[in-house]
Chains A and B, each alone.
Chain A
């Protein structure tokens, strides 16, 4: 199973929006609406930010939103804040019980 494709970096100024893409295939992102996004600060464990493409767990700010079109999923962070600077990883099921991650995107708040 191949990794999902994410841009290595993205950036925006405080208050702006940034959108990260996560491209898979018809065998993963295109088939399953089980795309999740994780935020990871240096030296910390990943934190679930989005599940089922666009749903937010309790406690995640509504500045974080997710969507999907075809084989590509997107994470948008609106109203960027300094604390949003982190790596972001997408994941999808490849078949009902196997997972694949994207390579990660470093978001920089300028």
Chain B
């Protein structure tokens, strides 16, 4: 069974950089032609796509976040990571990772991790 799990700090200060990792178990991050994505959901609000990455190719970013976001992959650890710079309170959200099956939808999702930006 494929499982994804997000990890990272729960609290970060304004202007600092957030680093999150998504660890994949039950399959290899390099198997088949999947994308792997990052998403977030501010408290009480809807979902927002951040970025998705293809292990053997390109990474695509939400234009509204592109200048602050970097996604990287570590195939040796079966992980992919998110780096978000210049944090503000507006970046407070639950951050999710998920497998992007292209037209077949986002499945499965990690359980999510709450990140609070506050001094």
Q: Tell me the A residues contacting B by CB distance below 8 Å.
A: 1, 3, 32-34, 36, 38, 45-48, 50-52, 57, 89, 91, 93, 97-104
Given A3-B46, A101-B49, A91 and B106 contact (CB-CB distance below 8 Å): yes
Question: Which candidate, B26-34, B58-66, B80-88, is the interface stretch facing chain A?
Answer: B58-66
Contact A99 B49 (CB under 8 A): yes
Contact B103 A51 (CB under 8 A): yes
Q: How far is the CA of A68 from the CA of B28 in the complex (A)?
A: 34
Contact A38 B49 (CB under 8 A): no
Contact A57 B105 (CB under 8 A): yes
Q: Which residue of A has the minimal Cβ distance to B35?
A: A97
Q: Which residue of A has the minimal Cβ distance to B54?
A: A97
Question: What distance in Å separates the Cβ of A21 from its nearest Cβ neighbour in chain B?
Answer: 15
What residues on A are CB-neighbors of B102 within 8 Å? 34
Contact B103 A46 (CB under 8 A): no
Q: How far is the CA of A17 from the CA of B7 in the complex (A)?
A: 39
Highest count of chain B CB atoms <10 Å: which of A3, A33, A36, A102: A36
Contact A46 B106 (CB under 8 A): yes
Question: Which candidate, B14-22, B68-76, B109-117, is the interface stretch facing chain A?
Answer: B109-117
Question: What distance in Å separates the Cβ of B78 from its nearest Cβ neighbour in chain A?
Answer: 20
Q: How far is the CA of A5 from the CA of B101 in the complex (A)?
A: 23
Highest count of chain A CB atoms <10 Å: which of B47, B100, B102: B47
Q: Which residue of A has the minimal Cβ distance to B102?
A: A34
Q: How far is the CA of A70 from the CA of B57 in the complex (A)?
A: 32
Contact B46 A51 (CB under 8 A): no
17 A–B contacts from the bound complex (CB under 8 Å):
A1-B64, A34-B102, A36-B106, A38-B47, A38-B106, A45-B109, A45-B111, A46-B106, A48-B106, A48-B107, A51-B101, A51-B104, A57-B107, A89-B47, A91-B47, A98-B62, A101-B47
Is B67's beta carbon under 8 Å from chain A? no
Q: How far is the CA of A16 from the CA of B70 in the complex (A)?
A: 46
